Chain A
Protein backbone atom coordinates (compact mmCIF):
# COMPACT_ATOMS: atom_id res chain seq x y z
CA UNK A 1 0.00 0.00 0.00
CA UNK A 2 3.08 2.28 0.11
CA UNK A 3 2.68 3.53 -3.43
CA UNK A 4 -1.07 3.46 -3.65
CA UNK A 5 -1.44 7.19 -4.39
CA UNK A 6 0.68 7.04 -7.50
CA UNK A 7 -1.00 3.76 -8.41
CA UNK A 8 -4.40 5.41 -8.24
CA UNK A 9 -3.20 8.26 -10.40
CA UNK A 10 -1.65 5.95 -12.99
CA UNK A 11 -4.82 3.91 -13.17
CA UNK A 12 -6.96 7.01 -13.63
CA UNK A 13 -4.75 8.51 -16.30
CA UNK A 14 -6.77 7.21 -19.31
CA UNK A 15 -9.90 8.91 -18.03
CA UNK A 16 -8.16 12.12 -16.97
CA UNK A 17 -6.67 12.54 -20.45
CA UNK A 18 -9.92 11.64 -22.24
CA UNK A 19 -11.97 13.88 -19.98
CA UNK A 20 -9.66 16.86 -20.35
CA UNK A 21 -8.96 16.56 -24.05
CA UNK A 22 -12.24 15.29 -25.47
CA UNK A 23 -14.86 16.54 -23.02
CA UNK A 24 -13.85 19.43 -20.75
CA UNK A 25 -11.89 21.30 -23.41
CA UNK A 26 -14.53 20.97 -26.17
CA UNK A 27 -17.37 21.95 -23.83
CA UNK A 28 -15.54 25.10 -22.73
CA UNK A 29 -14.13 25.88 -26.17
CA UNK A 30 -17.62 25.53 -27.62
CA UNK A 31 -18.92 28.14 -25.18
CA UNK A 32 -16.08 30.51 -26.09
CA UNK A 33 -16.72 30.02 -29.82
CA UNK A 34 -20.38 30.86 -29.24
CA UNK A 35 -19.37 34.43 -28.40
CA UNK A 36 -17.19 34.90 -31.49
CA UNK A 37 -17.71 35.26 -35.24
CA UNK A 38 -15.31 32.31 -35.83
CA UNK A 39 -15.62 30.94 -39.35
CA UNK A 40 -13.39 28.43 -41.09
CA UNK A 41 -13.40 30.15 -44.43
CA UNK A 42 -12.33 33.71 -43.60
CA UNK A 43 -10.35 32.77 -40.47
CA UNK A 44 -12.01 35.50 -38.39
CA UNK A 45 -12.09 35.07 -34.62
CA UNK A 46 -13.49 38.21 -32.98
CA UNK A 47 -15.37 38.52 -29.72
CA UNK A 48 -18.90 39.70 -30.54
CA UNK A 49 -20.68 39.18 -27.22
CA UNK A 50 -24.25 37.92 -27.41
CA UNK A 51 -24.63 38.78 -31.09
CA UNK A 52 -24.89 35.10 -32.18
CA UNK A 53 -27.61 34.40 -29.66
CA UNK A 54 -29.52 37.52 -30.69
CA UNK A 55 -29.30 36.54 -34.37
CA UNK A 56 -30.35 32.97 -33.60
CA UNK A 57 -33.52 34.06 -31.88
CA UNK A 58 -34.44 35.98 -35.04
CA UNK A 59 -33.29 33.27 -37.48
CA UNK A 60 -36.34 31.54 -39.01
CA UNK A 61 -34.24 28.47 -39.90
CA UNK A 62 -33.16 28.01 -36.28
CA UNK A 63 -36.62 28.65 -34.88
CA UNK A 64 -38.24 26.18 -37.26
CA UNK A 65 -35.57 23.60 -36.34
CA UNK A 66 -36.50 24.11 -32.68
CA UNK A 67 -40.19 23.78 -33.55
CA UNK A 68 -39.53 20.49 -35.36
CA UNK A 69 -37.43 19.23 -32.46
CA UNK A 70 -40.26 19.99 -30.03
CA UNK A 71 -42.79 18.23 -32.27
CA UNK A 72 -40.44 15.25 -32.43
CA UNK A 73 -39.94 15.13 -28.65
CA UNK A 74 -43.58 15.75 -27.75
CA UNK A 75 -44.80 13.17 -30.26
CA UNK A 76 -42.36 10.31 -29.83
CA UNK A 77 -41.83 10.23 -26.08
CA UNK A 78 -45.44 9.54 -24.97
CA UNK A 79 -46.02 7.05 -27.82
CA UNK A 80 -42.77 5.20 -27.19
CA UNK A 81 -43.39 5.04 -23.44
CA UNK A 82 -46.95 3.76 -23.74
CA UNK A 83 -46.13 1.18 -26.42
CA UNK A 84 -43.09 0.04 -24.44
CA UNK A 85 -45.29 -0.44 -21.37
CA UNK A 86 -47.88 -2.43 -23.34
CA UNK A 87 -45.15 -4.65 -24.81
CA UNK A 88 -43.65 -5.17 -21.36
CA UNK A 89 -47.01 -6.15 -19.85
CA UNK A 90 -47.61 -8.61 -22.70
CA UNK A 91 -44.35 -10.49 -22.15
CA UNK A 92 -44.01 -10.02 -18.39
CA UNK A 93 -45.65 -13.28 -17.25
CA UNK A 94 -44.00 -16.52 -18.24
CA UNK A 95 -45.61 -18.44 -21.16
CA UNK A 96 -44.29 -20.73 -23.91
CA UNK A 97 -42.45 -18.70 -26.57
CA UNK A 98 -42.04 -15.64 -24.38
CA UNK A 99 -38.33 -15.14 -25.04
CA UNK A 100 -38.92 -15.30 -28.80
CA UNK A 101 -41.40 -12.43 -28.63
CA UNK A 102 -39.25 -10.46 -26.21
CA UNK A 103 -36.16 -10.76 -28.43
CA UNK A 104 -38.20 -9.91 -31.54
CA UNK A 105 -39.57 -6.74 -29.95
CA UNK A 106 -36.08 -5.76 -28.80
CA UNK A 107 -34.33 -6.45 -32.10
CA UNK A 108 -34.97 -3.09 -33.86
CA UNK A 109 -33.28 -1.16 -31.06
CA UNK A 110 -29.88 -2.82 -31.51
CA UNK A 111 -29.91 -2.31 -35.26
CA UNK A 112 -27.87 0.58 -36.65
CA UNK A 113 -29.90 3.78 -37.01
CA UNK A 114 -28.47 4.30 -40.49
CA UNK A 115 -29.69 0.87 -41.57
CA UNK A 116 -33.14 1.41 -40.04
CA UNK A 117 -33.40 4.81 -41.74
CA UNK A 118 -32.43 3.26 -45.09
CA UNK A 119 -35.01 0.47 -44.77
CA UNK A 120 -37.76 2.95 -43.93
CA UNK A 121 -36.72 5.26 -46.75
CA UNK A 122 -37.53 2.32 -49.00
CA UNK A 123 -40.77 1.49 -47.18
CA UNK A 124 -41.94 5.13 -47.28
CA UNK A 125 -41.09 5.82 -50.91
CA UNK A 126 -43.58 6.62 -53.63
CA UNK A 127 -45.55 3.47 -54.44
CA UNK A 128 -43.71 1.71 -51.61
CA UNK A 129 -44.94 -0.71 -49.00
CA UNK A 130 -46.44 1.83 -46.60
CA UNK A 131 -48.17 3.70 -49.45
CA UNK A 132 -49.68 0.38 -50.48
CA UNK A 133 -50.91 -0.32 -46.95
CA UNK A 134 -52.41 3.17 -46.78
CA UNK A 135 -54.30 2.54 -50.01
CA UNK A 136 -55.60 -0.77 -48.70
CA UNK A 137 -57.29 0.99 -45.79
CA UNK A 138 -58.65 3.69 -48.07
CA UNK A 139 -56.17 6.51 -47.46
CA UNK A 140 -54.46 8.49 -50.20
CA UNK A 141 -50.68 8.39 -49.74
CA UNK A 142 -48.67 11.55 -50.56
CA UNK A 143 -47.98 11.80 -54.28
CA UNK A 144 -44.18 11.81 -54.10
CA UNK A 145 -43.74 9.50 -51.13
CA UNK A 146 -44.09 10.10 -47.39
CA UNK A 147 -40.65 11.71 -47.02
CA UNK A 148 -41.17 14.27 -49.76
CA UNK A 149 -44.34 15.78 -48.33
CA UNK A 150 -44.18 18.55 -45.72
CA UNK A 151 -47.32 17.22 -44.07
CA UNK A 152 -46.06 13.67 -43.51
CA UNK A 153 -42.23 13.66 -43.57
CA UNK A 154 -41.50 14.49 -39.93
CA UNK A 155 -44.33 12.29 -38.63
CA UNK A 156 -43.14 9.37 -40.74
CA UNK A 157 -39.67 9.67 -39.23
CA UNK A 158 -41.22 9.91 -35.76
CA UNK A 159 -43.22 6.72 -36.35
CA UNK A 160 -40.01 4.95 -37.31
CA UNK A 161 -38.30 6.15 -34.16
CA UNK A 162 -41.14 4.86 -31.99
CA UNK A 163 -40.94 1.49 -33.77
CA UNK A 164 -37.21 1.37 -33.17
CA UNK A 165 -37.04 2.48 -29.53
CA UNK A 166 -40.11 0.75 -28.03
CA UNK A 167 -38.35 -2.59 -27.47
CA UNK A 168 -35.46 -0.96 -25.66
CA UNK A 169 -37.71 0.79 -23.14
CA UNK A 170 -39.79 -2.39 -22.88
CA UNK A 171 -36.72 -4.06 -21.34
CA UNK A 172 -36.41 -1.29 -18.77
CA UNK A 173 -40.12 -1.58 -17.92
CA UNK A 174 -39.65 -5.35 -17.53
CA UNK A 175 -36.92 -4.70 -14.96
CA UNK A 176 -39.29 -2.35 -13.15
CA UNK A 177 -42.11 -4.91 -13.22
CA UNK A 178 -39.79 -7.56 -11.82
CA UNK A 179 -39.10 -5.35 -8.81
CA UNK A 180 -42.79 -5.21 -7.79
CA UNK A 181 -43.29 -7.68 -4.92
CA UNK A 182 -45.57 -10.62 -5.81
CA UNK A 183 -47.25 -10.43 -2.36
CA UNK A 184 -49.02 -7.20 -3.33
CA UNK A 185 -50.85 -9.02 -6.12
CA UNK A 186 -51.64 -11.95 -3.82
CA UNK A 187 -53.11 -9.59 -1.25
CA UNK A 188 -55.17 -7.93 -3.98
CA UNK A 189 -56.41 -11.37 -5.12
CA UNK A 190 -57.56 -12.19 -1.61
CA UNK A 191 -59.50 -8.95 -1.33
CA UNK A 192 -61.10 -9.76 -4.70
CA UNK A 193 -59.56 -7.08 -6.91
CA UNK A 194 -59.88 -7.59 -10.67
CA UNK A 195 -57.10 -7.36 -13.24
CA UNK A 196 -57.88 -3.74 -14.16
CA UNK A 197 -58.04 -2.66 -10.55
CA UNK A 198 -54.72 -4.37 -9.85
CA UNK A 199 -53.12 -2.63 -12.81
CA UNK A 200 -54.18 0.86 -11.77
CA UNK A 201 -53.70 0.42 -8.02
CA UNK A 202 -50.48 -1.62 -7.92
CA UNK A 203 -48.63 -1.89 -11.22
CA UNK A 204 -48.92 1.68 -12.49
CA UNK A 205 -48.05 3.54 -9.26
CA UNK A 206 -45.09 1.26 -8.56
CA UNK A 207 -43.78 1.71 -12.10
CA UNK A 208 -43.63 5.47 -11.72
CA UNK A 209 -39.89 5.66 -10.92
CA UNK A 210 -39.15 3.45 -13.94
CA UNK A 211 -41.36 5.58 -16.18
CA UNK A 212 -39.68 8.76 -15.00
CA UNK A 213 -36.24 7.26 -15.57
CA UNK A 214 -37.33 6.39 -19.10
CA UNK A 215 -38.66 9.92 -19.64
CA UNK A 216 -35.38 11.50 -18.57
CA UNK A 217 -33.09 9.41 -20.76
CA UNK A 218 -35.48 9.53 -23.70
CA UNK A 219 -35.75 13.33 -23.44
CA UNK A 220 -31.99 13.83 -23.60
CA UNK A 221 -31.79 11.41 -26.53
CA UNK A 222 -34.77 12.73 -28.48
CA UNK A 223 -33.71 16.37 -28.35
CA UNK A 224 -30.59 15.31 -30.26
CA UNK A 225 -32.31 13.58 -33.18
CA UNK A 226 -29.97 13.81 -36.17
CA UNK A 227 -28.95 10.60 -37.98
CA UNK A 228 -32.42 9.70 -39.28
CA UNK A 229 -32.90 13.24 -40.59
CA UNK A 230 -29.50 13.15 -42.29
CA UNK A 231 -30.18 9.82 -44.00
CA UNK A 232 -33.86 10.23 -44.87
CA UNK A 233 -34.48 13.86 -45.85
CA UNK A 234 -31.32 15.97 -45.35
CA UNK A 235 -33.62 18.42 -43.61
CA UNK A 236 -35.94 18.90 -46.59
CA UNK A 237 -39.76 18.82 -46.36
CA UNK A 238 -39.63 20.83 -43.12
CA UNK A 239 -37.73 18.17 -41.12
CA UNK A 240 -34.66 20.15 -40.02
CA UNK A 241 -34.11 19.52 -36.31
CA UNK A 242 -31.89 21.50 -33.95
CA UNK A 243 -28.84 19.23 -34.22
CA UNK A 244 -29.29 19.07 -37.98
CA UNK A 245 -29.28 22.88 -37.99
CA UNK A 246 -26.04 22.87 -35.95
CA UNK A 247 -24.46 20.41 -38.37
CA UNK A 248 -25.69 22.35 -41.38
CA UNK A 249 -24.44 25.78 -40.29
CA UNK A 250 -21.27 24.47 -38.63
CA UNK A 251 -19.93 21.62 -40.68
CA UNK A 252 -21.84 21.08 -43.87
CA UNK A 253 -21.53 24.07 -46.17
CA UNK A 254 -20.94 27.30 -44.28
CA UNK A 255 -18.53 26.32 -41.47
CA UNK A 256 -19.82 29.09 -39.20
CA UNK A 257 -18.26 27.62 -36.06
CA UNK A 258 -19.25 30.52 -33.81
CA UNK A 259 -22.88 30.64 -34.87
CA UNK A 260 -23.29 26.85 -34.73
CA UNK A 261 -21.67 26.66 -31.28
CA UNK A 262 -24.07 29.29 -29.97
CA UNK A 263 -26.98 27.22 -31.33
CA UNK A 264 -25.53 24.09 -29.67
CA UNK A 265 -25.39 25.87 -26.32
CA UNK A 266 -28.96 27.11 -26.64
CA UNK A 267 -30.12 23.55 -27.25
CA UNK A 268 -27.97 22.42 -24.32
CA UNK A 269 -29.75 24.89 -22.04
CA UNK A 270 -33.16 23.69 -23.23
CA UNK A 271 -32.24 20.04 -22.63
CA UNK A 272 -30.83 20.92 -19.21
CA UNK A 273 -34.01 22.77 -18.20
CA UNK A 274 -36.15 19.79 -19.21
CA UNK A 275 -33.90 17.30 -17.40
CA UNK A 276 -33.85 19.37 -14.22
CA UNK A 277 -37.63 19.75 -14.39
CA UNK A 278 -38.01 16.00 -14.63
CA UNK A 279 -35.56 15.41 -11.78
CA UNK A 280 -37.52 17.81 -9.59
CA UNK A 281 -40.75 16.00 -10.47
CA UNK A 282 -39.10 12.67 -9.68
CA UNK A 283 -37.96 13.93 -6.26
CA UNK A 284 -41.40 15.24 -5.39
CA UNK A 285 -43.16 12.06 -6.37
CA UNK A 286 -40.74 10.00 -4.33
CA UNK A 287 -41.42 12.10 -1.27
CA UNK A 288 -45.12 11.33 -1.60
CA UNK A 289 -44.70 7.62 -1.08
Chain B
Protein backbone atom coordinates (compact mmCIF):
# COMPACT_ATOMS: atom_id res chain seq x y z
CA UNK B 1 0.00 0.00 0.00
CA UNK B 2 2.73 2.43 0.98
CA UNK B 3 4.68 1.78 -2.20
CA UNK B 4 1.57 2.21 -4.25
CA UNK B 5 0.74 5.65 -2.86
CA UNK B 6 4.37 6.71 -3.20
CA UNK B 7 4.29 5.64 -6.82
CA UNK B 8 1.17 7.71 -7.30
CA UNK B 9 2.83 10.80 -5.86
CA UNK B 10 5.86 10.32 -8.08
CA UNK B 11 3.77 9.85 -11.19
CA UNK B 12 1.72 12.94 -10.31
CA UNK B 13 4.91 14.97 -9.94
CA UNK B 14 6.22 13.71 -13.28
CA UNK B 15 2.90 14.41 -14.97
CA UNK B 16 2.55 17.95 -13.62
CA UNK B 17 6.18 18.82 -14.39
CA UNK B 18 5.77 17.65 -17.97
CA UNK B 19 2.46 19.44 -18.39
CA UNK B 20 3.84 22.64 -16.88
CA UNK B 21 6.83 22.56 -19.19
CA UNK B 22 4.55 22.14 -22.20
CA UNK B 23 2.25 24.89 -20.97
CA UNK B 24 5.27 27.17 -20.65
CA UNK B 25 6.34 26.44 -24.23
CA UNK B 26 2.82 27.13 -25.49
CA UNK B 27 2.17 30.40 -23.68
CA UNK B 28 5.68 31.85 -23.41
CA UNK B 29 5.64 33.55 -26.85
CA UNK B 30 2.37 35.28 -25.94
CA UNK B 31 3.74 36.35 -22.55
CA UNK B 32 6.84 37.58 -24.38
CA UNK B 33 4.64 39.77 -26.57
CA UNK B 34 2.81 41.28 -23.57
CA UNK B 35 6.07 41.84 -21.71
CA UNK B 36 7.73 43.70 -24.58
CA UNK B 37 4.61 45.80 -25.09
CA UNK B 38 5.08 47.18 -21.55
CA UNK B 39 8.77 48.06 -21.99
CA UNK B 40 9.75 51.64 -22.77
CA UNK B 41 10.33 52.32 -26.45
CA UNK B 42 13.87 51.99 -27.73
CA UNK B 43 15.15 49.81 -24.90
CA UNK B 44 17.13 46.70 -25.75
CA UNK B 45 15.23 43.41 -25.80
CA UNK B 46 17.08 40.50 -24.26
CA UNK B 47 16.41 38.17 -21.40
CA UNK B 48 17.88 40.39 -18.69
CA UNK B 49 15.98 43.52 -19.75
CA UNK B 50 12.79 41.52 -20.23
CA UNK B 51 13.06 40.30 -16.65
CA UNK B 52 14.19 43.55 -15.06
CA UNK B 53 12.65 46.44 -17.02
CA UNK B 54 9.79 48.50 -15.61
CA UNK B 55 6.20 48.16 -16.69
CA UNK B 56 4.86 51.16 -18.57
CA UNK B 57 1.66 51.77 -20.49
CA UNK B 58 3.17 54.49 -22.65
CA UNK B 59 3.33 52.34 -25.82
CA UNK B 60 -0.42 51.77 -25.65
CA UNK B 61 -1.02 55.49 -25.04
CA UNK B 62 1.11 56.26 -28.13
CA UNK B 63 -0.85 53.78 -30.24
CA UNK B 64 -4.20 55.29 -29.32
CA UNK B 65 -2.90 58.67 -30.48
CA UNK B 66 -1.70 57.16 -33.77
CA UNK B 67 -4.18 57.05 -36.64
CA UNK B 68 -2.23 54.13 -38.13
CA UNK B 69 -3.61 51.96 -35.33
CA UNK B 70 -6.89 53.56 -34.24
CA UNK B 71 -8.38 53.39 -37.75
CA UNK B 72 -7.49 49.71 -38.25
CA UNK B 73 -8.79 48.90 -34.77
CA UNK B 74 -12.08 50.59 -35.60
CA UNK B 75 -12.23 48.88 -39.03
CA UNK B 76 -11.56 45.42 -37.59
CA UNK B 77 -14.24 45.93 -34.95
CA UNK B 78 -16.93 47.29 -37.27
CA UNK B 79 -16.25 44.84 -40.11
CA UNK B 80 -16.08 41.93 -37.66
CA UNK B 81 -19.39 42.96 -36.11
CA UNK B 82 -21.24 43.42 -39.42
CA UNK B 83 -19.90 40.17 -40.87
CA UNK B 84 -20.81 38.26 -37.71
CA UNK B 85 -24.38 39.61 -37.63
CA UNK B 86 -24.69 38.95 -41.36
CA UNK B 87 -23.60 35.34 -40.93
CA UNK B 88 -25.98 34.72 -38.03
CA UNK B 89 -28.90 35.98 -40.11
CA UNK B 90 -27.99 34.63 -43.56
CA UNK B 91 -26.51 31.26 -42.59
CA UNK B 92 -29.63 30.64 -40.53
CA UNK B 93 -31.99 31.57 -43.40
CA UNK B 94 -30.16 29.43 -45.95
CA UNK B 95 -29.71 26.52 -43.53
CA UNK B 96 -33.43 26.56 -42.69
CA UNK B 97 -34.31 26.56 -46.35
CA UNK B 98 -32.06 23.56 -47.06
CA UNK B 99 -33.14 21.65 -43.96
CA UNK B 100 -36.89 22.15 -44.22
CA UNK B 101 -37.90 22.66 -47.85
CA UNK B 102 -37.06 19.42 -49.60
CA UNK B 103 -36.85 20.35 -53.25
CA UNK B 104 -34.41 19.59 -56.06
CA UNK B 105 -33.14 23.17 -56.10
CA UNK B 106 -32.19 22.84 -52.46
CA UNK B 107 -30.32 19.61 -53.09
CA UNK B 108 -28.30 21.41 -55.75
CA UNK B 109 -27.70 24.25 -53.35
CA UNK B 110 -26.40 21.92 -50.69
CA UNK B 111 -23.97 20.48 -53.21
CA UNK B 112 -22.77 24.02 -53.94
CA UNK B 113 -22.13 24.54 -50.23
CA UNK B 114 -20.03 21.37 -50.08
CA UNK B 115 -18.16 22.35 -53.25
CA UNK B 116 -17.11 25.69 -51.79
CA UNK B 117 -15.99 23.94 -48.62
CA UNK B 118 -13.50 22.00 -50.71
CA UNK B 119 -12.21 24.83 -52.92
CA UNK B 120 -8.88 26.18 -51.63
CA UNK B 121 -9.14 29.94 -51.18
CA UNK B 122 -5.96 30.70 -53.12
CA UNK B 123 -7.80 30.05 -56.38
CA UNK B 124 -9.99 33.12 -55.96
CA UNK B 125 -7.28 35.61 -54.99
CA UNK B 126 -6.65 36.96 -58.49
CA UNK B 127 -10.21 36.82 -59.90
CA UNK B 128 -11.61 38.44 -56.76
CA UNK B 129 -9.08 41.23 -57.10
CA UNK B 130 -10.10 41.73 -60.75
CA UNK B 131 -13.82 41.56 -59.87
CA UNK B 132 -13.50 44.13 -57.09
CA UNK B 133 -11.59 46.43 -59.43
CA UNK B 134 -14.12 46.12 -62.24
CA UNK B 135 -17.12 46.72 -59.97
CA UNK B 136 -15.54 49.65 -58.16
CA UNK B 137 -15.65 47.83 -54.83
CA UNK B 138 -11.86 47.61 -54.57
CA UNK B 139 -10.56 49.56 -51.58
CA UNK B 140 -14.02 50.14 -50.07
CA UNK B 141 -15.79 48.63 -47.06
CA UNK B 142 -17.83 46.57 -49.54
CA UNK B 143 -14.74 44.51 -50.40
CA UNK B 144 -14.13 43.81 -46.72
CA UNK B 145 -17.74 42.84 -45.98
CA UNK B 146 -19.80 41.71 -48.95
CA UNK B 147 -18.06 38.42 -49.93
CA UNK B 148 -18.00 37.15 -46.32
CA UNK B 149 -21.60 37.74 -45.17
CA UNK B 150 -22.52 34.07 -45.45
CA UNK B 151 -20.19 31.07 -45.32
CA UNK B 152 -20.57 27.39 -46.21
CA UNK B 153 -19.24 25.98 -42.93
CA UNK B 154 -21.78 28.10 -41.06
CA UNK B 155 -24.63 26.96 -43.30
CA UNK B 156 -23.57 23.35 -42.82
CA UNK B 157 -23.34 23.71 -39.03
CA UNK B 158 -26.78 25.33 -38.63
CA UNK B 159 -28.41 22.96 -41.15
CA UNK B 160 -27.26 19.95 -39.12
CA UNK B 161 -28.66 21.58 -35.99
CA UNK B 162 -32.04 22.43 -37.51
CA UNK B 163 -32.40 18.87 -38.82
CA UNK B 164 -31.97 17.60 -35.26
CA UNK B 165 -34.92 19.74 -34.07
CA UNK B 166 -38.43 18.23 -34.09
CA UNK B 167 -40.77 19.76 -36.69
CA UNK B 168 -43.71 19.58 -34.29
CA UNK B 169 -43.04 23.04 -32.85
CA UNK B 170 -43.17 24.64 -36.28
CA UNK B 171 -46.32 22.69 -37.21
CA UNK B 172 -48.04 23.78 -34.03
CA UNK B 173 -47.21 27.40 -34.82
CA UNK B 174 -48.49 26.93 -38.37
CA UNK B 175 -51.80 25.53 -37.11
CA UNK B 176 -52.06 28.56 -34.84
CA UNK B 177 -51.93 30.61 -38.03
CA UNK B 178 -48.41 32.04 -37.76
CA UNK B 179 -46.85 33.16 -41.05
CA UNK B 180 -43.70 31.54 -42.44
CA UNK B 181 -41.39 34.40 -41.52
CA UNK B 182 -42.87 34.65 -38.05
CA UNK B 183 -42.23 30.93 -37.55
CA UNK B 184 -38.73 31.36 -38.88
CA UNK B 185 -37.58 34.23 -36.70
CA UNK B 186 -39.80 33.88 -33.62
CA UNK B 187 -40.01 30.09 -33.27
CA UNK B 188 -37.07 28.37 -34.95
CA UNK B 189 -34.33 30.97 -34.54
CA UNK B 190 -34.52 31.08 -30.72
CA UNK B 191 -34.28 27.28 -30.69
CA UNK B 192 -31.06 27.49 -32.72
CA UNK B 193 -29.29 29.73 -30.23
CA UNK B 194 -26.58 27.17 -29.31
CA UNK B 195 -25.61 26.57 -32.95
CA UNK B 196 -25.74 30.29 -33.74
CA UNK B 197 -23.47 31.10 -30.79
CA UNK B 198 -20.90 28.63 -32.11
CA UNK B 199 -21.25 30.14 -35.57
CA UNK B 200 -20.92 33.72 -34.31
CA UNK B 201 -17.73 33.10 -32.36
CA UNK B 202 -16.11 31.21 -35.24
CA UNK B 203 -16.99 33.85 -37.80
CA UNK B 204 -15.81 36.68 -35.56
CA UNK B 205 -12.47 35.04 -34.82
CA UNK B 206 -11.84 34.17 -38.47
CA UNK B 207 -12.71 37.67 -39.58
CA UNK B 208 -10.81 39.41 -36.81
CA UNK B 209 -7.63 37.42 -37.55
CA UNK B 210 -7.99 37.41 -41.33
CA UNK B 211 -5.10 38.84 -43.33
CA UNK B 212 -4.94 37.70 -46.97
CA UNK B 213 -8.19 39.07 -48.43
CA UNK B 214 -8.39 42.32 -46.43
CA UNK B 215 -4.81 42.93 -47.54
CA UNK B 216 -5.20 42.33 -51.26
CA UNK B 217 -8.63 43.98 -51.58
CA UNK B 218 -7.75 47.32 -49.99
CA UNK B 219 -4.91 49.75 -50.44
CA UNK B 220 -5.56 52.95 -48.47
CA UNK B 221 -4.52 53.38 -44.84
CA UNK B 222 -8.08 54.26 -43.80
CA UNK B 223 -9.36 50.82 -44.86
CA UNK B 224 -6.72 48.60 -43.31
CA UNK B 225 -7.80 46.11 -40.68
CA UNK B 226 -5.65 45.48 -37.62
CA UNK B 227 -3.71 42.40 -38.83
CA UNK B 228 -2.98 44.12 -42.15
CA UNK B 229 -1.83 47.31 -40.43
CA UNK B 230 0.45 45.32 -38.12
CA UNK B 231 2.01 43.31 -40.94
CA UNK B 232 2.65 46.44 -43.01
CA UNK B 233 3.91 48.43 -40.02
CA UNK B 234 6.44 45.65 -39.60
CA UNK B 235 7.37 45.73 -43.27
CA UNK B 236 7.85 49.46 -43.80
CA UNK B 237 9.67 50.86 -40.82
CA UNK B 238 12.78 50.11 -38.86
CA UNK B 239 11.38 47.64 -36.38
CA UNK B 240 10.06 49.30 -33.25
CA UNK B 241 9.27 46.16 -31.30
CA UNK B 242 7.74 47.81 -28.24
CA UNK B 243 5.01 49.55 -30.23
CA UNK B 244 4.59 46.63 -32.61
CA UNK B 245 4.02 44.22 -29.72
CA UNK B 246 1.59 46.64 -28.06
CA UNK B 247 -0.37 46.76 -31.33
CA UNK B 248 -0.24 42.96 -31.51
CA UNK B 249 -1.53 42.76 -27.96
CA UNK B 250 -4.50 44.91 -28.99
CA UNK B 251 -5.26 42.30 -31.66
CA UNK B 252 -5.01 39.44 -29.14
CA UNK B 253 -6.85 40.88 -26.13
CA UNK B 254 -10.40 40.76 -27.61
CA UNK B 255 -9.79 37.16 -28.69
CA UNK B 256 -8.55 36.24 -25.21
CA UNK B 257 -11.55 37.85 -23.52
CA UNK B 258 -14.03 36.15 -25.85
CA UNK B 259 -12.19 32.87 -25.42
CA UNK B 260 -12.56 33.00 -21.64
CA UNK B 261 -16.25 33.92 -21.84
CA UNK B 262 -17.25 31.56 -24.64
CA UNK B 263 -14.79 28.69 -24.27
CA UNK B 264 -17.50 26.03 -24.30
CA UNK B 265 -18.93 27.24 -27.62
CA UNK B 266 -15.50 27.47 -29.24
CA UNK B 267 -14.60 23.93 -28.27
CA UNK B 268 -17.93 22.47 -29.37
CA UNK B 269 -17.70 24.30 -32.69
CA UNK B 270 -14.36 22.71 -33.50
CA UNK B 271 -15.32 19.23 -32.38
CA UNK B 272 -18.71 19.38 -34.16
CA UNK B 273 -16.85 19.43 -37.46
CA UNK B 274 -14.72 16.48 -36.41
CA UNK B 275 -17.61 14.24 -35.43
CA UNK B 276 -19.35 14.85 -38.77
CA UNK B 277 -16.41 13.39 -40.72
Contact = CB atoms under 8 A, between A and B. Distances in A.
Interface of A: 1, 3-5, 7-9, 11-12, 14-16, 18-19, 21-27, 29-30, 33, 87, 90-91, 95, 97, 100-101, 103-108, 110-123, 127-129, 132, 163, 167-168, 171-172, 174-176, 179, 209-210, 213, 220, 223-224, 226-227, 230-231, 234, 242-243, 246-247, 250-251, 257, 260-261, 264-265, 267-268, 271, 275
A112 B227 contact: yes
Contacts of A261: 126-127
B223 interface: no
Contacts of A23: 116, 119, 124
B241 interface: yes
Contacts of A268: 119-120, 122-123
29 contacts: A4-B180, A12-B93, A15-B112, A15-B150, A18-B150, A19-B112, A22-B124, A23-B116, A23-B119, A25-B127, A26-B123, A26-B128, A90-B18, A90-B22, A97-B16, A101-B22, A105-B26, A107-B26, A107-B30, A110-B266, A111-B252, A115-B227, A115-B252, A120-B29, A122-B32, A123-B32, A171-B267, A246-B122, A251-B125
Contact of B270 (A1, A172, A176, A234): A172
Contacts of A168: 270
Nearest to A259: B126
B1 interface: no
B53 interface: no
A25 B150 CA distance: 16
Contact of B90 (A14, A87, A114): A14
Contacts of A264: 122-123, 125-126
Nearest to A101: B19
B271 interface: yes
Interface of B: 15-16, 18-19, 22-23, 25-27, 29-30, 32-33, 36, 45-47, 90, 93-94, 96-98, 101, 103, 105-106, 109, 112-113, 116, 118-131, 146-147, 149-150, 155, 174, 180-181, 184, 205, 208-209, 211-212, 216, 226-228, 230-231, 234-235, 241, 244-245, 248, 251-252, 255-256, 259, 263, 266-267, 270-271, 273-275, 277
Nearest to B33: A119
A247 B122 CA distance: 9
A179 B277 CA distance: 13
A123 B29 contact: yes
B127 A29 contact: yes
B234 A231 contact: yes
